[in-house]
Structure 1
Amino acid sequence: MTARLHAHQYGKAETRVVRILRDAPRHELRDLNVSTALRGDFAAAYLDGDQSAVLPTDTQRNTAFAYAKEHGVSSPEAFATLLARHFVDDVGPVTGARVDVEEYAWNRVLVDGVEHDHTWVRSGQEVRTASVTAGADGTTVVAGLRDLTVLKSTGSEFRGFLTDGYTTLAEASDRVLATSLVAQWRYAGTDLDFDGTYARVREVLLTTFAAEHSLALQQTLWQMGEAVLDAVPEVVEIRFAAPNKHHFLADLSPFGLENPGEVFFAADRPYGLIEAVVVRDGAPDAGDAWTRSVGAP
């Protein structure tokens, strides 16, 4: 049998970096989970055990901590860009780098109705994400979020679908629509107000989900993607994965009770998984920036 090493990369996964800015009475907090992956000609390490071109994963971890101190964390996208460009530009054997960052949100604790300067409480399950791919041909920034759980109690239907001998689902003209959204969007450049742009995209996603009447979750994803591209010119592509968090009417008839759409059973599995990609006309291809694309939560 003849075998060959087809592809390879290596890195340090899930380095937890918490950066606290203490240079004023009101402290600032950024809580990150950083993963790095380096690409280049490292075949000798795999085939012969020759580590002479390998920058240890331990060094990659240390670099993340040092950069958090030296450069701060203005946003996960900016931090990931700094790290990725450093590995490509400053480490000789490295020809490409990918840096994935998750940011965990914290809200300030209120004391007598006033935000406390240095105490926070973890905010929900939603996680902000950033992926930066750097190479000789440039840098691509992909931002996003996951576990953004949203629900609307009306304004959604699902009718007119294909049926066969195995179909039992009844048509619904007024149903609960809920999902735990995963979204990633690709920016047109790297010199952006990432925090401000992230907030705008998130706001558009939520307001569109709330305001637009939904004929199906598929249509809702298209409406959200189109709205983001219309409202945020910095975004050239957005990808979604949306599990349909089904809510079924609970049968209260055995108890002599009617249930006009008021009490539901929330089923966690199995679930429909709806995915979509919405691209601005004329947008350049993203290359391998989507290697770790959105998928099921």
Structure 2
Amino acid sequence: MPLIKNRYGKGRVRVMRIHRDGDRHEVSQLSIKAMLEGDFARTFTHADNSSTVSTDTIKNIVNVVARENTGLSPEDFCQVLAQRYLDTYPQISSVSITSHETKWSRLSFDGKPHPHSFVLDGNGRPTVEVAVKRGGPMTMSSGVDNFAFMKSTQSGWENYVKDRYTTIPPTNDRLCATSMVATWRWSGRPASYPATNARILATLLQVFATTYSWSVQDSLYRMGEAALAAVPEISDISMACPNMHFILMNLSAFGLDNDNQVFLPTDEPHGQIECTVARG
């Protein structure tokens, strides 16, 4: 039987880089997945390992490239890492690198950033995906996974399809929250990947927070439009937003009203809203 597709690599390679610039340190904690395609079919079909790079070696290269590039942004680091595999092993035809970052935020005291102390930031994991084929262009996207945000009003759900299966009532005042997965594809190199990523997130949040939401779909589209307008170096942005539901509690048994004040948080089952906004 033919082997029609194969690839292999190393996942969850965890590495912490510390870049020292005098007393000031920058930290970058990444979890890397490196996947290779190329002349490896005989390993699967003929028990022939003669051209196959061990997955332990793939992991070691992550650490070596990390040591040689402590100050690179995750985007630049993943590009250098992908190219290292191609430069080292001619039997590799393409490389895919995925990075998830654990965020550490710098502590400040009396308004002054501390040079080498940090606190774990639990909201969202920045992501990078790099793909490159030998002799072809390198493509890259950045994003964020599990990035949660909410607003307690200025959100509604009205004028939707109603039939005998519909039970949810319309509202023009609801709590709206989501845990977003978003990615944006780069068509040009920004002056700073970290600063530009931060600007994209700030733009998304500003649209969400400061405008009325007729639906999650409505907000996502306008958020995507704003991100593309703010950052010319990206070609499109994809967002997937599962609703974090808050169910209004019935307190009438206790002689109490509940005017959007007390809720039961739940995320199962959830609405799953997804869209991609691209340049025309």
TM-score range, shorter-chain basis? over 0.9
Q: Would you say the 8 A contact 1:140–1:190 is kept in 2?
A: no
Aligned-pair CA distance for 1:203: 0.9
Q: Would you say the 8 A contact 1:245–1:267 is kept in 2?
A: yes
Q: Are the structure 2 counterparts of residues 30 and 189 from structure 1 closer, same or farther at C-alpha, using a change threshold of 3 Å?
A: same
Deviation string, structure 1 residues 165-219 (Cα, Å, up to 9, x no partner): 1211001111111000110010003575211211111111111111221111011
Deviation string, structure 1 residues 240-291 (Cα, Å, up to 9, x no partner): 110011112111111111111111111121100111111112xxxxxxxxxx
Deviation string, structure 1 residues 205-241 (Cα, Å, up to 9, x no partner): 1111112211110111111111111111001011111
Q: Would you say the 8 A contact 1:246–1:271 is kept in 2?
A: yes
Q: Would you say the 8 A contact 1:141–1:190 is kept in 2?
A: no
Does 2:159 align with 1:177? Answer: no
Does 2:38 align with 1:56? Answer: no
Q: Would you say the 8 A contact 2:32–2:98 is kept in 1?
A: yes
Unaligned 5+ segments in structure 2 are: none
Matches for 1:1-297 after TM superposition, within 5 Å: 3-111=1-109, 114-135=112-133, 136-190=135-189, 192-281=191-280
Aligned-pair CA distance for 1:52: 1.5
Aligned-pair CA distance for 1:55: 1.4
Q: Which amino acid aligns with 1:83?
A: L
Q: Which amino acid aligns with 2:57?
A: T
Q: Report the 3-state secondary structure (helix = DSSP H, G, I; strand = E; otherwise coil) of the residue aligned with 1:53.
A: coil
Query: 1: CA distance between counterparts of 2:225 and 2:189?
Result: 22
Query: 2: CA distance between counterparts of 1:233 and 1:141?
Result: 15
Unaligned 5+ segments in structure 1 are: 282-297
Deviation string, structure 1 residues 82-112 (Cα, Å, up to 9, x no partner): 1112212331001100001111111223455
Q: Would you say the 8 A contact 1:144–1:184 is kept in 2?
A: yes
Q: Which amino acid aligns with 2:236?
A: E
Greater CA drift, 17-26 or 270-279: 17-26
Query: 1: CA distance between counterparts of 2:204 and 2:28?
Result: 23
Deviation string, structure 1 residues 19-62 (Cα, Å, up to 9, x no partner): 11235222221111111001112110100111121111111111
Query: 2: CA distance between counterparts of 1:53 and 1:151?
Result: 51
Provide the TM-score with structure 1 as the length reference.
0.90
Q: Which amino acid aligns with 1:60?
A: I
Identity %: 38
Q: Would you say the 8 A contact 2:156–2:215 is kept in 1?
A: yes
Q: Report the 3-state secondary structure (helix = DSSP H, G, I; strand = E; otherwise coil) of the residue aligned with 2:154.
A: coil
* Structure showing the higher strand proportion among its residues: 2
Q: Would you say the 8 A contact 1:184–1:240 is kept in 2?
A: yes
Greater CA drift, 102-111 or 225-234: 102-111
Aligned length, in residue pairs:
279
Q: 1:290 matched to which residue of 2?
A: none
Q: Are the structure 2 counterparts of residues 23 and 214 from structure 1 closer, same or farther at C-alpha, using a change threshold of 3 Å?
A: closer
Q: 1:295 matched to which residue of 2?
A: none
